Structure 1
Amino acid sequence: MRLVTAALVALLALTGCSAAPQETPAAPLSGAAAPEQAGNLDDAAPPQRYVALGDSFTAAPLVPMTELETGCFRSDGNYPSLLADALGLRLTDVSCSGASTRDLVRRQSTVQQASAPPQLRVLDDRTDLVTVGIGGNDFGLFGGLVRTCLQLRSSDPTGAPCATSALGERLVSRIPDIGRNVERSLRRIEQRAPNARVILVGYPRIAPSDGACPRLLPFADGDVSFGDRVLRELDASLRGAADAAGVDYLDLYTASAGHDVCSARPWVNGRQTQPGVALAFHPLATGARATATLLEDLVARS
């Protein structure tokens, strides 16, 4: 999300830097099939070169060991790292907090005059697997939604001031455009990595479908369900983009039922940024692990 920048700048002094992009020749976890042991998958060798693209929901800022050099705040505990470990893949992770679909093809300005190169530059015909989680920052969707709903709560705590605001309505109206942006991005990925399997990863639930938890998600009561509606419509648009481009789609919205911010077992952090745990309103380690497991299952079904 674009709104992460101010919070992340304040955390620069709290965490050490590491090089980027992260490229890791990963070893399989105990019990995971090594590449040469993949005969049970129709005798097809599993992917060897894995590239992870995306925004902060891929990067998972502040889940321990977060990269700071480029301002992307990419964790080595994010789902790409866990998936690479599980499947023994060579990972190149260029996910970057704040990224939009435009930043896949252009240099992205991040924080403190840092920047990150276009993410698609790391793709080529040797790439075997690509995961991409993108779209929530297009047209300021997530940042505008969170800022507006937080700011307007005090004006009508039991109503839905965010949902009925001009900005709220405008943000929802741009969701189909986001789907089209993502579809174009998927086609660019396929052009640059023609031999790769491509998986578009959707977004998990943040708000519950009903109820409220103002301590963790301080929206007006009626805006909690509005936040859920935005995520639901965004993920439906992303699924449409994946179908149109002919790539796989990981439906995290459905998979994360019962794991919203207000639940007993959340996959996404609430309003409190916690270094070493997660940035506010961003994936927790539990969410990263769950996503990696779902992707591992999806890759195995190829």
Structure 2
Amino acid sequence: MVRIANLGSSFSAGPGIAPQVNIAAARSGANYAHLLAERLNAGLVDLSVSGATLLNITDTPQVSGGVTFPPQIQGVPEDADIVLVLGGGNDMSYVGGLFKEHTWALAAFSLVQRLKGTPMPEFPAPADEEEVIKRFGKVLDAVHEKAPKARVIVVEYLTLLGSDVKPTVDVPFNAERLEYHQGVATKLQKATQQVVDSRSEWCERIPMAELSQGHGIGSAEPWVFGCSMMERLMGKAWYHPNAEGMKAVANLLHERITSK
């Protein structure tokens, strides 16, 4: 049986998508790794945790939902056939920066946290592109060392803010801030591509940023959740892949894997 390991943050884990199989990790049983494993009839070790940085994959434990998760690399089987990797967004404060635009939501969340007697989660200072390249390189090298025979496949973040999004309509910020956040996404994609290209002998990339340009917030067929109050009330994860997005990634992974 083919063995798959899945590493990454929320865009890999699948918060807001039923069924949630690990509440503390905000991990869905219908994320792209689970869907792919089902189609390949493969075994899966899903180590993804929402909120993870690249450091949480290599050497830094992560506390989420009251649970301490060890560095994800520790759980990768040495005989894994395929290792899926997604990361870097939290290091650059990509989605965190988008959440900061919702000042009213942050204020309400802060009040709830104070009433519960729990501290507000901290947004780490964003790492620059050079630092993300360094961290991502350490992740991929660690994976290759742990599972030297594995096919290492890096999945890019799905596009959130594509050509269809309307500033102040689909999102709460203006055109200038939209351009800023699109710039962060571009830096993340370029860093990811550079890191993979320098390890092309044993690592490959699924260019989801480009392939999902027409499926961002405000598009006719979005692969991501937006940031509406209705979505929040329905338990959806703002600025994250939706079920259709996970299916799209799984389909592209399946096509890539079975074509080689």
Q: Do the structures match in fold with TM over 0.5?
A: yes
In structure 1, C-alpha distance between the alignment counterparts of 2:42 and 2:233, rounded to whole Å: 28
Structure 2 unaligned runs (5+)? 105-124
Q: 1:140 to 1:225 in 2, by over 3 A?
A: closer
**1:289 corresponds to which residue?**
247
Q: 1:133 to 1:275 in 2, by over 3 A?
A: farther
SS of equivalent to 1:217: coil
**1:83 corresponds to which residue?**
36
Aligned partner letter, 2:10: S
Aligned partner letter, 1:110: S
In structure 1, C-alpha distance between the alignment counterparts of 2:236 and 2:48, rounded to whole Å: 16
In structure 1, C-alpha distance between the alignment counterparts of 2:7 and 2:249, rounded to whole Å: 15
In structure 1, C-alpha distance between the alignment counterparts of 2:138 and 2:189, rounded to whole Å: 16
Q: 1:277 to 1:290 in 2, by over 3 A?
A: farther
In structure 2, C-alpha distance between the alignment counterparts of 1:81 and 1:275, rounded to whole Å: 26
**Contact kept in structure 1, 2:56 and 2:62, CA below 8 Å:** yes
Determine whether 1:58 maps to 2:12.
yes
Deviations along 1:120-154, whole A, 9 cap, x unmatched?
Answer: 112233110000111111153431x21444449xx
**1:257 corresponds to which residue?**
213
SS of equivalent to 1:58: helix
**1:226 corresponds to which residue?**
180
**1:67 corresponds to which residue?**
21
Structure 1 unaligned runs (5+)? 1-34, 36-47, 153-169
Offset, 1:58: 0.3
Deviations along 1:162-211, whole A, 9 cap, x unmatched?
Answer: xxxxxxxx95x712321221111100100001110000111111112475
Larger radius of gyration: 1
**Contact kept in structure 1, 2:152 and 2:204, CA below 8 Å:** yes
Deviations along 1:95-133, whole A, 9 cap, x unmatched?
Answer: 00000011113321112x322122111223311000011
In structure 2, C-alpha distance between the alignment counterparts of 1:252 and 1:277, rounded to whole Å: 25
Between the aligned residues of both structures, percent identity stands at: 28
**Contact kept in structure 2, 1:64 and 1:276, CA below 8 Å:** no
- The number of equivalent residue pairs is 235
Cα RMSD over matched residues? 2.2
Aligned partner letter, 1:124: P
**1:269 corresponds to which residue?**
225
Q: 1:146 aligns with which of 75, 82, 98?
A: 98
* Pairing of 1:189-208 with structure 2 (within 5 A): 189-208=143-162
Aligned partner letter, 2:181: G
In structure 1, C-alpha distance between the alignment counterparts of 2:221 and 2:51, rounded to whole Å: 26
Deviations along 1:215-235, whole A, 9 cap, x unmatched?
Answer: 432121222232222212211
Q: 1:275 to 1:60 in 2, by over 3 A?
A: farther
SS of equivalent to 2:44: strand
Q: 1:250 to 1:101 in 2, by over 3 A?
A: same
In structure 2, C-alpha distance between the alignment counterparts of 1:277 and 1:286, rounded to whole Å: 16
TM superposition score normalised by structure 2: 0.83
Aligned partner letter, 2:129: I
SS of equivalent to 1:245: coil
The runs of 4+ residues in structure 1 deviating greater than 6 Å are none
